[in-house]
């Protein structure tokens, strides 16, 4: 029997390793171009109506045969890559610069700041909007011209449902609880849709499995209510390898009590931009129109606002 020479054995081994490497999905890491820190929950679109999010270490596996790669994050400039090579295992994103109006702080803090709610939180719940990976929904809250002075936004409110009995899980067992990103954005002057810029430093993350209380999620610092009005945005995120059509927990409660629908949605992994809720193809169906009595569901989102903001560190 002929023995394989040591150097040939090494070449065969290297060839096998190369075949195994190229046969596997390539993993990339996404980092901040300035701080060099990994960026979690970057939206990565692969083409063919599929995509995913980077994990907390900024990594994601690019599936074999991905037709394109588009990386987007509300705090960074979108980046398109035509081809991933071994030299591009680390991808850097450039931060966006967002200017926020200065906050006038009063010197004396009261014992309690009186706040009120604006939005649709108190409206009757008529249906639910199921969450899905890469799905965003937004409610536009206009500025009230009767306000004597500009109020400040303290918290984002959302009416969420954590039950799972109504969900149809074909690929998810047990159910997956989504990470939620809450954000505030200005309306685009031309389209009326939410702008691709955050007013609160990229939004606030509610970790998977953590429930949102009745007081909502507090801003790290209050901001003045924009005179143009503001969008409250919720984004469903999971790093699990699932289809974007699979339902995630939680879902968002919806109301039919609003004559004017100011709800918009976006399906990133279907390569779709923002659209008004009433323009959804599903609502053009006669059976669904009859079911909803010709009305379109509105998102039960809201804000806690106050007439002024104080420096709570002072006595």
Give tens-digit pLDDT for 61-116.
988 877 678 999 999 999 998 876 665 589 999 998 765 554 444 444 445 678 89
Q: Is the peptide bond prior to 258 cis by the omega test (within 30 degrees of 0)?
A: no
Residue 221: CB atoms within 10 Å: 12
- Which of the residue ranges 21-35, 71-85, 289-303 would you say has the lowest mean pLDDT? 21-35
Whether 74 and 167 map to the same domain: the answer is: no
Whether 167 and 247 map to the same domain: the answer is: yes
Whether 184 and 81 map to the same domain: the answer is: no
| pLDDT tens digit sequence for 234-250 | 999 999 888 777 889 99
Looking at the DSSP bridge assignments, the partners of residue 225 are none
Whether 134 and 259 map to the same domain: the answer is: yes
Whether 163 and 278 map to the same domain: the answer is: yes
Report yes or no on 184 lying in a domain. yes
Q: Check if the beta carbon of residue 263 is closer than 8 Å to that of residue 297.
A: yes
Report yes or no on 314 lying in a domain. no
Report yes or no on 100 lying in a domain. no
Q: Can you give the CATH number for the domain in which 85 is found?
A: 2.60.40.1120
Report yes or no on 263 lying in a domain. yes
Whether 149 and 298 map to the same domain: the answer is: yes
The pLDDT value recorded for residue 82 is 80
Q: Check if the beta carbon of residue 70 is closer than 8 Å to that of residue 82.
A: no
- Can you tell me the mean pLDDT for 147-154? 94
Residue 125 vs residue 243, higher pLDDT: 125
Q: Report the share of the chain in percent with pLDDT over 70.
A: 80
Residue 110 vs residue 287, higher pLDDT: 287
Report the alpha-carbon distance of residue 161 to residue 307 in Å, rounded.
31
Whether 248 and 284 map to the same domain: the answer is: yes
Whether 142 and 221 map to the same domain: the answer is: yes
- Phi, psi (5° rounding) for residue 11? -65, -40
Q: Check if the beta carbon of residue 246 is closer than 8 Å to that of residue 172.
A: yes
Report yes or no on 98 lying in a domain. no
Residue 172 pLDDT > 70, yes or no?
Answer: no
- Phi, psi (5° rounding) for residue 21? -65, -45
Its domain, for residue 231, covers 115-306
Report the alpha-carbon distance of residue 275 to residue 265 in Å, rounded.
6
Rg of the chain taking only CA atoms, in angstroms: 23
> What stretch of H or E contains 15?
helix 6-23
Whether 119 and 243 map to the same domain: the answer is: yes
Last residue of a domain, one of 93, 126, 147: 93
How many domains, the chain?
2
Q: End-to-end alpha-carbon separation of the chain, Å?
A: 91
Whether 163 and 289 map to the same domain: the answer is: yes
Average pLDDT, the chain: 84
- Can you tell me the mean pLDDT for 152-160? 97
> What stretch of H or E contains 239?
none
- Please tell me the pTM assigned to this model: 0.84
- Phi, psi (5° rounding) for residue 86? -65, -20
Report yes or no on 79 lying in a domain. yes
Report yes or no on 315 lying in a domain. no
- What is the per-residue burial (b if ≥16 Cβ within 10 Å, else e) of 108-142? eeeeebebeebbbbebeebebbbbbbbbbbbbbbe
Report yes or no on 187 lying in a domain. yes
Whether 128 and 207 map to the same domain: the answer is: yes
Whether 46 and 151 map to the same domain: the answer is: no
Last residue of a domain, one of 93, 127, 151: 93
Residue 69 vs residue 302, higher pLDDT: 302
- Can you tell me the mean pLDDT for 174-186? 93
213: helix, coil or strand? coil
The pLDDT value recorded for residue 312 is 46
């Amino acid at each position: 029997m002929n023995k394989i020479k040591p150097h040939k054995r090494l070449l065969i081994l290297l060839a096998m390793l190369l075949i195994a490497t190229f046969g596997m999905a390539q993993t990339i890491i996404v980092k901040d171009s300035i701080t060099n820190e990994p960026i979690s929950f970057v939206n990565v679109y692969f083409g063919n109506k599929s995509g995913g999010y980077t994990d907390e270490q900024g990594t994601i596996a690019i599936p074999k045969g991905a037709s394109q790669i588009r990386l987007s994050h509300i705090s960074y400039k979108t980046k398109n890559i035509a081809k991933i090579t071994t030299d591009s295992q680390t991808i850097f994103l450039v931060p966006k610069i967002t200017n926020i109006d200065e906050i006038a702080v009063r010197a004396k803090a009261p014992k309690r700041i009186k706040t009120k709610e604006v939005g649709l939180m108190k409206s009757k719940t008529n249906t639910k909007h199921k969450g899905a990976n890469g799905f965003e929904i937004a409610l536009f809250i206009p500025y009230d011209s009767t306000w004597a002075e500009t109020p400040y936004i303290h918290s984002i409110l959302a009416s969420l449902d954590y039950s799972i009995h109504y969900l149809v899980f074909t690929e998810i067992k047990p159910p997956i609880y989504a990470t939620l990103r809450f954000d505030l954005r200005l309306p685009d002057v031309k389209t009326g849709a939410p702008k691709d810029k955050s007013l609160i430093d990229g939004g606030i993350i509610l970790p998977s499995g953590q429930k949102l209380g009745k007081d909502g999620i507090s801003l790290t610092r209050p901001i003045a209510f924009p005179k143009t009005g503001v969008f409250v945005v919720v984004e469903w995120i999971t790093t699990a390898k699932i289809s974007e059509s699979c339902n995630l927990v939680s879902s968002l409660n919806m109301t039919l009590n609003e004559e004017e629908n100011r709800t918009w949605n976006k399906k990133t992994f279907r390569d779709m931009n923002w659209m008004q809720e009433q323009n959804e193809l599903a609502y053009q169906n006669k059976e669904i129109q009859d079911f909803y009595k010709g009305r379109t569901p509105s998102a039960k989102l809201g804000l806690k606002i106050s007439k002024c903001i104080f420096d709570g560190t002072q006595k």
